[in-house]
Chain A
Amino acid sequence: QKEVEQDPGPLSVPEGAIVSLNCTYSNSAFQYFMWYRQYSRKGPELLMYTYSSGNKEDGRFTAQVDKSSKYISLFIRDSQPSDSATYLCAMSAENTGFQKLVFGTGTRLLVSP
């Protein structure tokens, strides 16, 4: 079983919809949680960065971390066709000096005009 589980999708939504992307994890030592956006054949782009539990908002994006449930979410408001990409969650633990990022498999999002 993978340390980080993520539904691969694809998730298809109409433009303007609210998108919810989620990851679950098994390692309670994870403390830093990131969301990356990856367009086809491109490098992952850091979208959101959070530490421990709580919410963080940045423009149309909101990241939530629930460590008690080992569950993280990324919400995208007013989704745009340009948001169509694969979204990867990633996390790290102190026992690796926070060096190694463990990724989910990524969720492919398709936003139609």
Chain B
Amino acid sequence: AAGVIQSPRHLIKEKRETATLKCYPIPRHDTVYWYQQGPGQDPQFLISFYEKMQSDKGSIPDRFSAQQFSDYHSELNMSSLELGDSALYFCASSQTSGRASEQFFGPGTRLTVL
């Protein structure tokens, strides 16, 4: 079965640089979610999109922005990177017509900020 695709899988950036993470949801899934997981931490909800509109917002820094495109893929843009942004970034997707809160996660993008 098709899964959530994230790219790149690994990313190394310097402080103050920018990064763009991409997420391709499972086919026919219309909602995407972004989570940040620091070392030894639980995933923290950042933001979600349904039908290209932001549907919920969590603890996402103002330096970060995200959007969902017409093909339902999503991009997380991160600017002025800080050392503390080093983490695993997960994208998850779900189908609105499916079971509530049933989110399927991608393999993650490991961001390292030097």
Stretch with Cβ within 8 A of A (4 or more), from B14-22, B40-48, B68-76: B40-48
Stretch with Cβ within 8 A of B (4 or more), from A13-21, A41-49, A58-66, A74-82: A41-49
Residues of B within 8 A of A51 (CB): 100
Q: Is the CB of B56 within 8 A of A99?
A: yes
Residues of B within 8 A of A43 (CB): 4, 90, 105-108
Residues of A within 8 A of B43 (CB): 44, 88, 101, 103
Q: Is the CB of A101 within 8 A of B108?
A: no
Number of residue pairs spanning A and B whose beta carbons lie under 8 angstroms apart: 63
Q: Is the CB of A105 within 8 A of B56?
A: no
Q: Is the CB of B103 within 8 A of A96?
A: no
Give which listed residue, A32, A103, A104, A106, contacts B101 with CB less than 8 A: A32
Q: Is A24 an interface residue (CB 8 A)?
A: no
Closest A residue to B50 using CB positions: A99
- The number of chain B residues touching the other chain, given as a range, is 20 to 34
Residues of B within 8 A of A88 (CB): 42-43
Chain A 24-52 interface mask (CB, 8 Å, partner B; 1/0): 00000000101010000111111001010
Q: Is the CB of A32 within 8 A of B100?
A: yes
Closest B residue to A99 using CB positions: B56
* A positions within 8 Å CB-CB of B: 32, 34, 36, 41-46, 49, 51, 88, 92, 96-106
18 contacts between A and B (CB under 8 A): A34-B102, A36-B105, A43-B90, A43-B105, A43-B107, A46-B102, A46-B103, A46-B105, A92-B101, A97-B55, A100-B33, A100-B45, A100-B58, A101-B45, A101-B103, A102-B45, A103-B42, A106-B42
* B positions within 8 Å CB-CB of A: 4, 31, 33, 35, 41-45, 48, 55-56, 58, 88, 90, 92, 99-108, 110
